[in-house]
Amino acid sequence: MTNLFQCLYVREVVSFAPAIDFHVKGEFPFSKLPNGIQFFDYNIGNLKKLPDYRTFDYTDIYYFSCYAHPLTQDLPKWDGSKNNITTLMLSQNSLTGTIDESYCSVILIVYSNLLTGWKIAFSFILNNKNAIHSLNKEKKRQKEIN
């Protein structure tokens, strides 16, 4: 049996990278995740759709990274009311749409995507200065490309 991807599990950390062949028809291969994991990486893969955020409900995960996938969907609304996620790393995808106020409760890192506008609440800006810095940097880069 060949190793199609690497999985690193060290206590509270699970990292799939690259996750190129680890998906179910382009979708996240987990419907539920166990407790005890705090840091979950699922990077460099072939997801066509972001995981349903409810997958992280009632888990200990506070950091989720899903970067470098061919995701071409609008950024969905965030409902983290039943999970512990504080940081979402969704960079280097092809996400479209806008960032709305539903993301006020998390640090959202989304550079190198195709986001077109921001509907950001004032609370998001106050709570996520580093994320805003990343967004401004990406916006400047996008202007330089065009």
Single-letter residue type at 78: W
The pLDDT value recorded for residue 145 is 61
State CA 23 to chain mean position distance.
Answer: 16
Model pLDDT for residues 29-42, shown as the tens digit of each residue:
999 999 999 999 99
- Whether the pLDDT of residue 4 is over 50: the answer is no
User: CB-based contacts of 110: which residues, under 8 Å, 6+ apart?
Assistant: 75, 90, 91, 95, 99, 131, 134, 135, 138
pLDDT digits (tens, 9 = 90+) for 122-138: 445 555 555 555 555 55
- Phi and psi at 74, nearest 5°, equal -70, 150
Residue 50 has pLDDT above 70, yes or no: yes
